[in-house]
């Protein structure tokens, strides 16, 4: 579904959105476990040249295959977003990609010693800290944005997600779980993304699951690394984590965190308004592909292009 573009003010773009591409200033590494594999994995971020983009490399394989972070390589969205190319997979990429997008890092080579990205604490906060440890380096190439010019919407029964024209990057999300504990939390969230509020309002939100599902998942070789240190676990009537929630709206904020990572797979930072109801990795990926398959619904621009108009 497409709609005509609406005009929006440009006043926030100069200060909130970088004019130039950025990479990291130095190489950094971290070791943790995969959420679904339960196996140790070392991840290394390395600086990359302008227009390199975000690219993963499997260092545990002899030919060190490279997998660009792009929606066209997403082959599975069951419980996570998983890249696959020529039979080689890198799973659970969304939290790291969310942190890179939220912190405005455009170019980085990501070495992974296994088939799954480490889960860390289940949020993007540890990845934000890793990026800050590396430092950021401005590059001498203008940053290119994907700017929506028409609205694209995707549906799955009552679930839906859309991207609309907007001169900024705004995300609105509503969840609706048939669970009393989740339903007691704040169900909606809306945020205009900048580096500062991504770090403080989005990156802290952890992934979550339900205690009743754990046995089934682990019987199917999923969530083998899941525990109270890397996920919010909800029982029939309470949150099992001793410290409870970090944020009153942590459940819905994690959905926004995931969406930022999933939509970054479009290959450019966005100037768009994302709205969603009960969306997940599958719908987000469908939305990303729907936009990329409709070249008349977007344009690739720099901040300098915008100010010429």
Residues within the annotated binding site for Zn(2+)? 95, 254, 258
* Cβ-based burial of 261 (10 A; exposed 0-12, middle 13-18, buried ≥19): buried
Residues near 70 by Cβ (< 8 Å), separated by ≥ 6? 265, 266, 267
Gap between the Cα atoms of 54 and 169, Å rounded: 19
* Cβ-based burial of 88 (10 A; exposed 0-12, middle 13-18, buried ≥19): middle
Is residue 94 within 8 A of residue 279, CB to CB? The reply is no
Active-site pick, 22, 70, 281, 307: 281
Gap between the Cα atoms of 112 and 139, Å rounded: 25
CB atoms within 10 A of CB 112: 23
Gap between the Cα atoms of 72 and 52, Å rounded: 17
Q: How many residues are present in the chain?
A: 309
Gap between the Cα atoms of 242 and 11, Å rounded: 44
281 is catalytic: yes
Q: Closest Cα to residue 271, out of 7, 41, 17, 52? A: 17
Is residue 122 within 8 A of residue 231, CB to CB? The reply is yes
Q: Which residues are designated catalytic?
A: 281
């Amino acid at each position: 579904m497409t709609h005509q573009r609406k005009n929006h003010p440009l006043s926030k773009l100069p200060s909130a959105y970088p004019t130039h591409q950025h990479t990291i200033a130095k190489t950094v590494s971290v070791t943790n476990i995969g959420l679904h594999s339960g196996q140790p994995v070392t991840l290394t971020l390395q600086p990359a040249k302008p227009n390199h983009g975000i690219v993963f490399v499997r260092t545990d394989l002899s030919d060190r295959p490279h997998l660009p972070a792009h929606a066209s390589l997403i082959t599975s969205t069951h419980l996570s977003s998983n890249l696959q190319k020529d039979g080689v997979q890198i799973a659970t990429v969304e939290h790291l990609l969310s942190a890179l997008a939220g912190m405005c890092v455009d170019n980085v080579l990501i070495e992974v010693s296994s088939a799954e990205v480490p889960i860390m604490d289940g949020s993007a906060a540890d990845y934000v800290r890793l990026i800050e440890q590396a430092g950021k380096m401005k590059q001498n190439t203008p940053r290119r944005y994907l700017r929506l010019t028409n609205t694209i919407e995707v549906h799955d029964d009552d679930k839906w997600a859309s991207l609309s024209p907007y001169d900024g990057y705004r995300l609105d999300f509503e969840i609706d779980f048939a669970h009393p504990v989740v339903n007691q939390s704040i169900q909606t969230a809306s945020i205009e993304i900048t580096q500062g509020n991504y770090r403080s309002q989005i990156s802290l939100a952890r992934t979550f699951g339900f205690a009743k599902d754990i046995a089934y998942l682990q019987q199917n070789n999923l969530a083998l690394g899941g525990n109270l240190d890397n996920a919010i676990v909800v029982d029939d009537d309470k949150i099992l984590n001793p410290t409870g929630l970090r944020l009153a709206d942590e459940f819905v904020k994690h959905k926004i965190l995931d969406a930022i990572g999933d939509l970054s797979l479009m290959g450019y930072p966005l100037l768009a308004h994302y709205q969603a109801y009960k969306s997940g990795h599958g719908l987000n990926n469908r939305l990303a592909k729907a936009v990329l398959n409709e070249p008349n619904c977007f344009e690739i621009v720099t901040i300098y292009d915008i100010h010429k108009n």
